[in-house]
């Protein structure tokens, strides 16, 4: 059992991807990044295939579901967003940290045309997305939430999953996608949590 070098994505216990396969996959990822940025995450698959100089079948071979492609493209940024929580928590007091991280998440979603919408579409083609996001972001948010509650800066009893979902929906105001509006509404949401805090602070 020789361990040949593995491609970034490989089924365990099996041979590594063929060289040309890896090449196409990389081209696909590259193209998807471009196309998603230009036309949003709901760009036609054909468009991505063409941009990558690849057949449709090849797209589906590497990314059986549309959402697999999206996850592949954004996983780095999702992780970065999750990691930002700890950094922010170190710099600010709990409630402020929570607020800032929420805005950080808004900034991420808000600049990916169609991502937020896809996240909540319920379209089976995107089914893997909510799971992926929740799995990675919930722990991060939960940490911030716990600290803020412990500091009595916000009310308790808020579900991270619910909050995450709310931010996601607030970021999908159609195509006009006014990120400023999303930011204001999320800010209102955070203030709502402060309103029920044990220690009632003076609002700015």
Residue 55 C-beta: closest distance to DNA, Å: 2
Which residue number, 67 or 99, has a Cβ lying nearer to DNA?
A: 67
Residue placing its CB nearer to a copy of itself in the complex, 22 or 181: 181
Minimum distance from CB of 120 to a copy of itself (Å)? 5
Q: How far is the CB of 57 from DNA (least distance, A)?
A: 2
To a copy of itself, the closest distance from the beta carbon of 166 in angstroms equals 4
Q: 152: which 2 tokens?
A: 């009595």
What radius of gyration do the chain's Cα atoms show?
Answer: 20
Which of 31, 69, 117, 148 is the binder for a copy of itself (CB under 8 A)? 117
Smallest CA-to-CA distance from 133 within 95, 170, 167, 177 is with 167
CA angle 106, 199, 94 (to 5 degrees): 35
For residue 188, count other CB atoms closer than 10 A to its CB: 10
54: partner contacted, choices a copy of itself, DNA, none (Cβ within 5-8 A by kind): DNA
* Number of other residues whose CB lies within 10 A of the CB of residue 73: 21
How far apart CA 168 and CA 134 sit, in angstroms, is 11
Cα separation, 86 vs 75, in Å, equals 18
- If one asks whether residue 57 binds a copy of itself (CB under 8 A), the answer comes out as no
- Binding residues vs DNA (CB under 7 A): 4, 15, 17-21, 23-25, 42-46, 53-58, 60-62, 64-66, 124-125
What does residue 142 show for φ and ψ, rounded to 5 degrees? -60, -40
Least gap, CB of 109 to DNA (angstroms): 20
Member of 30, 77, 196, 199 binding a copy of itself (CB under 8 A):
196
Distance CA 69, CA 53 (A): 16
**Contact residues for a copy of itself, defined by CB under 8 A:** 117, 120-122, 130, 155, 158, 162-163, 165-166, 169-170, 172-176, 181, 184-185, 187-196, 200, 203
């Amino acid at each position: 059992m020789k361990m040949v070098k593995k491609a970034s994505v490989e089924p365990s216990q099996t041979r590594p991807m063929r060289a040309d396969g890896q090449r196409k996959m990389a081209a696909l990822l590259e193209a998807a990044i471009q196309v998603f940025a230009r036309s949003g995450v709901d760009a036609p698959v054909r468009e991505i295939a063409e941009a990558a100089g690849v057949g449709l079948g090849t797209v589906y071979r590497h990314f059986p579901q549309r959402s697999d492609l999206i996850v592949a493209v954004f996983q780095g940024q999702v992780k970065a967003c999750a990691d930002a929580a700890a950094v922010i928590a170190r710099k600010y007091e709990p409630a402020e940290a929570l607020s800032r991280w929420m805005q950080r998440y808004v900034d991420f979603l808000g600049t990916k045309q169609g991502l937020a919408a896809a996240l909540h579409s319920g379209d089976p083609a995107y089914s893997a997305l909510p799971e992926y996001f929740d799995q990675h972001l919930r722990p991060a948010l939960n940490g911030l939430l716990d600290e803020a509650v412990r500091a009595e800066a916000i009310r308790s009893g808020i579900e991270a999953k619910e909050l995450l979902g709310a931010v996601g929906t607030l970021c999908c105001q159609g195509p006009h996608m006014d990120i400023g509006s999303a930011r204001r509404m999320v800010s209102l949401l955070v203030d709502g949590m402060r309103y029920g805090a044990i220690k009632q602070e003076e609002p700015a």
